[in-house]
A and B are shown apart, each in its own frame.
Chain A
Amino acid sequence: MSYLKKSPWLIHYDGSSCNGCDIEVLACLTPLYDVERFGIVNTGNPKHADIFLVTGGVNTQNLPVVKQIYEQMPEPKVVIAVGACACTGGVFHDCYNMLGGMDKAIPVDVYVPGCAARPEAIIDGVVKGLTVLEEKQKALAVSVSAGKKEEEIELAPQAVMNERQEGSGCSSR
């Protein structure tokens, strides 16, 4: 894992799980395993989060909720499916109300197996997720800078107006 320039914040949601993996996710934040020493913070606001830790195979009622949280998160974002239920449906894969696996709802980047997934495995999954996050950040930076040139041409009249108003250097973007 290379040097990260920002500490990733995570949001956790229980997508129809038995709660075992959720308490192991919370156990990662508490003193014995303590990911907060790496600067990882558990937030409740999807718009603040980089990493979406989701547990449980999705059921029909939960599907729009999971999708909504995923869509609210800003790019780049990483989804980590924690636990056997989130990977494939687990023991409940043939229940009438389960879709079976989190990837039926949202695209998943890292799968952490286990029932309940151990905190060591979850931290390992988060670290792998951070690598994926970095790659996505780089890809996003490339695409933003590629799109920037066209936008600058369009914004030129505005930029000129700003210069006249402020009398200072370039408009920051």
Chain B
Amino acid sequence: MGKSTVIPFGPQHPVLPEPIHLDLELQDEKVVRASTSIGYVHRGLEKLVEKRGFQEYVYVAERVCGICSFGHGWGYSKAVEGLMGIEVPKRAEYLRTIWHELSRLHSHLLWVGLGADGMGFESLFMHAWRLREIILDIFESTTGGRVIFSACKVGGVRRDIADSELKEIVARLDKLKKEIDAMIYIILGDETIHARLRRVGVVTLEDAIALGCVGPTARASGLPLDYRCGDEGGAYKDLGFRPITETEGDCFARCKVRLRELLQSIDIIKGCVENMPAGDIAVPVKGFPPAAEHFTRVEQPRGEALYYVKGNKTKNLERFRLRTPTNVNIPVLVKMLQGCDLADVPNIILTIDPCISCCER
């Protein structure tokens, strides 16, 4: 029976790209209890709707998070379009889907790198981020920006991608797929990674439902929760989509879900390019949002994100609310940390793919 100590973890820590604070109550080297303290990145940007016009606010919504940036721009635009009853052209939907799936690719490759760095596997970190640069090149050639590229706007998208360029994107992704296959082979076969990730941070299906987690964290426990199959419109419905699930619920299962989603995203992008409809990329937006409210959801790389807008017939929206996936995954993290070893804490935190700037807006 050891002594109980409380050590602080974060907000500045080598494995954490973003500040989050945890108080870990330890007994010898086992974590008995964890309590979280967030708020280091709380900017209060939801209140900025009162100062920025509803069309201008897309730029603020995108900057909620740099990794899931396109998804937030899309979710906000979708919410305002639902509020105002704007029907976006099919081509714009498909283009948005392509950019969003590229976002998912880059986000999961980023996660593989950071997760590997957290384990000490630095060469995998460098390799994953090198592959990620291929995606960022695609972003740059289609939109001009690497990380935050403002491609979405209320009413459609701001730029078109020519068909020749779409074919080139598919060619680049085919090359990338071979390298991703090689990387997946390494990760799934490596015994050290198995030793670090298997049976660590287990979340059972009942816990996943009781704690309300979303995204790969939920799908790795067997809960087939993916908003892409619930969305009524958009390219996902046309292409047919099935979520990827695993059953073990440990860190390794979450890793497998994300790796398989990498391959699934490449297939979705190819499907979008093959079935790309011709037409406009945006419709003009006239007038102000009515005095009504609307909810919409987008499946971000980390899970389901909910967007709520409430209009009041003026240029400024009355309320904008963004409920991000990491916001829901924090309670799961707190539960996962109970009973783990101290050396596994960075792995477990990185395994929910924390995006604290999303979480705290």
Direct contact of A and B (CB under 8 A): yes
- What is A's interface to B at a CB cutoff of 8 Å? 13-24, 26-27, 30-32, 43-46, 56-57, 59, 61-62, 65, 69, 90-92, 94-98, 115-116, 118
A95 in contact with B147 given A20-B63, A62-B19 (CB within 8 Å): no
- State the majority secondary structure of interface residues on A: loop
A26 in contact with B17 given A59-B41, A95-B43 (CB within 8 Å): yes
Q: Which 5 A-B pairs have the closest CB atoms?
A: A20-B66, A44-B14, A30-B129, A19-B66, A31-B130
B357 proximal to A (CB < 8 A): yes
- Report the Cα distance A27→B48, complex, angstroms: 30
- State the majority secondary structure of interface residues on B: loop
B12 proximal to A (CB < 8 A): yes
Q: Say yes or no: B42 contacts A24, CB within 8 Å.
A: no
- Report the Cα distance A22→B63, complex, angstroms: 13
Question: Contacts of B113 on A, CB cut-off 8 Å?
Answer: 30
Q: Say yes or no: B12 contacts A65, CB within 8 Å.
A: yes
- Report the Cα distance A68→B13, complex, angstroms: 13
Least CB distance, B307 to chain A, in whole angstroms: 17
Q: Which residue of B lies closest to A68 (CB)?
A: B12
Q: Say yes or no: A92 contacts B125, CB within 8 Å.
A: no
Question: Contacts of A16 on B, CB cut-off 8 Å?
Answer: 19, 40-43
- Report the Cα distance A143→B166, complex, angstroms: 61
How many pairs, one residue from A and one from B, have CB atoms within 8 Å of each other in the complex? 123
Interface centre among B125, B148, B356 (most CB of A within 10 A): B148
Q: Say yes or no: A62 contacts B11, CB within 8 Å.
A: yes
Q: Say yes or no: A19 contacts B65, CB within 8 Å.
A: yes
- What is B's interface to A at a CB cutoff of 8 Å? 11-15, 17-19, 39-45, 47-48, 51, 59-60, 63-67, 69, 110, 113, 125-127, 129-130, 133, 136, 145-148, 355-357
Question: Contacts of A116 on B, CB cut-off 8 Å?
Answer: 66, 145-148
Least CB distance, A20 to chain B, in whole angstroms: 3
Q: Say yes or no: B12 contacts A61, CB within 8 Å.
A: no
Q: Say yes or no: B48 contacts A95, CB within 8 Å.
A: yes
Q: Say yes or no: B17 contacts A19, CB within 8 Å.
A: yes
Least CB distance, B58 to chain A, in whole angstroms: 11
A14 in contact with B148 given A30-B130, A31-B130 (CB within 8 Å): no
Q: Say yes or no: B126 contacts A18, CB within 8 Å.
A: no
A65 in contact with B17 given A16-B40, A95-B43, A115-B63 (CB within 8 Å): no
Q: Say yes or no: B39 contacts A91, CB within 8 Å.
A: no
Q: Say yes or no: B43 contacts A23, CB within 8 Å.
A: no
- Report the Cα distance A14→B13, complex, angstroms: 11
User: Given A27, A56, A59, A92, which contacts B129 in the complex, CB threshold below 8 Å?
Assistant: A27
17 pairs, A vs B, C-beta closer than 8 Å: A13-B12, A14-B41, A16-B41, A19-B66, A22-B18, A23-B17, A26-B17, A30-B126, A56-B41, A61-B42, A62-B11, A65-B12, A65-B40, A69-B12, A92-B60, A94-B51, A98-B43
User: Given A13, A43, A59, A65, which contacts B43 in the complex, CB threshold below 8 Å?
Assistant: A59
Least CB distance, B175 to chain A, in whole angstroms: 16
Question: Contacts of A21 on B, CB cut-off 8 Å?
Answer: 66
